[in-house]
A and B are shown apart, each in its own frame.
Chain A
Amino acid sequence: MTNPVIENVRRSLGRASQTPTGPRPAIHHARQAESIDVEIESFLSEIKKLSGVGRSLVPSDIDSELKALIQEQNIRRATVWETAHLRQLGITEILHSLGVELISPNADKHEMATCDLGVTEAEYLLPETGTLVLRSSAGKPRAVSLLPRVHLAIVRPQMLRADLHQIFAEVKDDHYLVFITGPSRTADIELTVTLGVHGPRSLYVWMVGR
């Protein structure tokens, strides 16, 4: 299978063979993980530096924390990923009992856009940059972390990885991934940092358990 662009590239490079000239240069550097407490601490502090809210909780705090979040952000409608961990924490039930209207995460995009809050978890976390790694499937739709103005991610310490190398090794065969590092931001008008230009304005990350 060949085409003119690849043929032109090959001709310009003066290459006859179709095999690489050698292996890709080796990459030596990878960050080493610190103790789990230090890793959690640096992850949460990075989230704060990015104007997000990062916090360590125990499962019994979820009730009161959600209540506070809903008041603070004036949440009326929410949509929640359908995952085992979020079910186990009873997120939808708590939101429902607080009078929040719940929209299916697979709802039409116009309906999803009316949600104030989207709740997800993360697959992996990067402590050095405060990054959440989210996968995509019918139970974990992409729009939940994108359309609502507030994004809450509930994460666990075992999701922490030392560096990109470990994460990439585990996710490279996924058909879609997004790395989220702080709330949506721009500095396009007079270099004034403004949050929430297209994506969520507020990012909450709750680390549950230790």
Chain B
Amino acid sequence: MTETPTYIGFEEYSEHVPAGIPPAVQQATNRFISGRAARVAELPQWEELRHIGSDIRLHTIENMDVYLSRLEEKVVAAGGNVHWAETAEAANQIVLQIAREHHVKTAVKSKSMATEETGLNHALEQEGIQAIETDLGEYIIQLAGTGPSHIIVPAVHLKKEDVAEIFSEKLDLDAPSDPVELARIAREVLREKFLNAEMGISGGNFLIAETGTLVLVTNEGNGRMVSTMPDVHVAVVGIDKVIPDWESLTVFLKLLARSATGQKLSTYTQFITGPRREEGEFGPKEFHLVLLDNGRSKVLKDPVGREVFKCIRCGACANVCPVYKNVGGFAYGWFISGPIGAILSPQMLGTRTARELPYASTLCGACADVCPVKIPIPTILRHLRRRVAEGDEFATATLPTLPRLSAGFASIALAKNWIYRLGTLFLPTIMSIFRRGNWIANAPYPLSRWTRGRPLPAFTAGFRSWWRKAHSREDQDSTR
């Protein structure tokens, strides 16, 4: 998953989901859902936190320019370097340039959605720089050469026997199929890389504008390694990760781990403001922050769709999604999957490339119920379906002529009283041709596609008379 997709065939993929994926994904999602539920139950002010979290994110989106300017100013004041990348390609070039200047041969990476979005690993490898993923799950799938199936546990679709086989083959050793032993092997192999890499690359969970601080959350400690051991630390972060101040962060830290893994806080939360200050404290001599736009600023034009940027990447929406649980992460075709991917990808890649994704949902609303920052995902899905159907700046309308004409006619007929009444007058007559008792068994095309399977109840078209009768009864009741 290193290239920006040109078309995402969700439907095609979802018809050929490998049999092992749904049970593995469901095991993970069920674990996370119950963990989340337990943590939420402990916190009586949970709903209040969600509410405030949502308000702060909206405020930040509406003032993003202000907070980004402040962030840049503060990072520079702390001795860090800020780079602005308008495109994925530009971001990769910036990182490559820094790598060249420092004669980097090996870069260690902690999990970063932004660099998966830009395909940075591929760009580094083309320059002969080895980029090593160090999150255990990411490391496994990098060795296996596949993509992530879940945002938190990317290799959950692989059994321990698969991992043992991958390790044995790629690392040229005899790995047992025991998770603890496999983790120990990875620790040893990667420890060596951490100590010798010239550059560390990370993403970022939040950027605090108030002080120019990068907030990095991990459980394994690899995020600490990449930002502590090499002499150069480069963080590639989407511009949507900015938050106003530390006080805002109190809300998001309480929401994030509880929603993601059912932890109260993740194991390590780092707050990095510029490079190290003293020789002996460890930490990088140079700190670079690459701020990635890659279509985000364009998405901001749509006041309905831009609420997607409230997201704090917890993955709870995917964990509860009945569609995601049955297809897994690959089907969504880009770095981000689940309901949030279904509303983000079409906006960033365009409604032509990702036009199937807004339909990858039953609109059941479970995602909106668990979202810690109250993103109205079903509303945005419907909004994007409309953009796909009617066409927008990215793509022409996808809806075929017949349904579009009938929808157009229906909207006129239902809005004009006299046309509607005329219709109800003639409908019983028209219907009598097809009617058998109270049922319509053989309707003409296109309705025949339905009646071939099951009959339709006959329309009585009697709503208005029913309404009159019902109301006159009510009136009598109330005067009694």
Contacts and interface: CB of A to CB of B under 8 A. Distances in A.
Contact of A164 (B194, B249, B266, B276): B249
A131 B268 CA distance: 9
Contact of A22 (B59, B154, B279): B59
A27 B72 CA distance: 25
Contact of A178 (B78, B224, B280, B300): B224
B92 interface: no
B180 A194 contact: yes
B27 interface: yes
Interface in B269-294: 269-274, 276-283, 291, 293
Interface string A168-186: 1101111111111111111
B244 interface: yes
Contacts of B73: 1
A138 interface: yes
B363 interface: no
Nearest to B60: A24
B273 A25 contact: no
Interface stretch (B62-70, B430-438, B445-453): B62-70
A199 B268 contact: yes
B183 A178 contact: no
A88 interface: no
Interface string A137-153: 11111110010000000
B220 A185 contact: yes
B416 to A, nearest CB: 36
B182 A189 contact: yes
Contacts of B270: 176-179
A3 interface: yes
A21 B276 CA distance: 35
A173 B300 contact: no
Interface string B131-161: 0001111001000000000000111101110
Given A136-B281, A197-B220, A174 B271 contact: yes
B69 A137 contact: no
B225 interface: yes
A24 B56 contact: yes
B254 to A, nearest CB: 8
A192 interface: yes
Nearest to A171: B271
Interface string B255-267: 0000000011111
Interface residues of B, number: 95
B7 interface: no
A190 interface: yes
A196 B283 contact: no
A138 B271 contact: no
B265 A191 contact: no
B55 A25 contact: yes
Contacts of B136: 186, 188-189, 197
Contacts of A20: 59, 63, 66
A143 B228 contact: yes
A168 to B, nearest CB: 4
Contacts of A27: 52, 56, 247-248, 250-251
Given A113-B195, A146-B225, A188-B135, A181 B264 contact: yes
A13 to B, nearest CB: 6
A96 interface: no
Nearest to A20: B63
A24 B271 contact: no
B187 interface: yes
A81 to B, nearest CB: 11
A13 B64 contact: yes
A110 B211 CA distance: 32
A141 B281 contact: yes
A35 interface: no
A189 B291 contact: no
A168 B247 contact: yes
Contact of B301 (A12, A177, A185): A12
B245 A197 contact: no
Contact of A179 (B69, B137, B179, B268): B268
A191 B31 CA distance: 9
A77 to B, nearest CB: 16
Contact of A180 (B55, B159, B267, B282): B267
Nearest to B223: A198
A32 to B, nearest CB: 12
Contact of A188 (B140, B246, B263, B264): B140
A183 B247 contact: no
B279 A138 contact: yes
Given A109-B282, A186-B219, A4 B86 contact: yes
Contact of A172 (B52, B78, B246): B246
Contacts of A9: 64-65, 68, 239, 293, 297, 300
Nearest to B212: A175
Contacts of A194: 179-180, 183
Nearest to B249: A168
Given A189-B183, A199-B268, A106 B280 contact: yes
A156 B52 CA distance: 33
Contacts of B179: 189-190, 192, 194
Contacts of B49: 29
A58 interface: no
A199 B226 CA distance: 12
Given A9-B64, A198-B190, A189 B160 contact: yes
A116 to B, nearest CB: 14
B417 interface: no
B45 interface: yes
Nearest to A142: B282
14 contacts: A5-B86, A6-B65, A9-B293, A18-B69, A20-B66, A22-B59, A176-B276, A178-B268, A181-B263, A188-B137, A188-B140, A196-B187, A197-B186, A198-B224
Given A5-B68, A12-B300, A164-B254, 7 more contacts: A9-B293, A18-B69, A140-B281, A179-B268, A180-B267, A189-B179, A189-B183
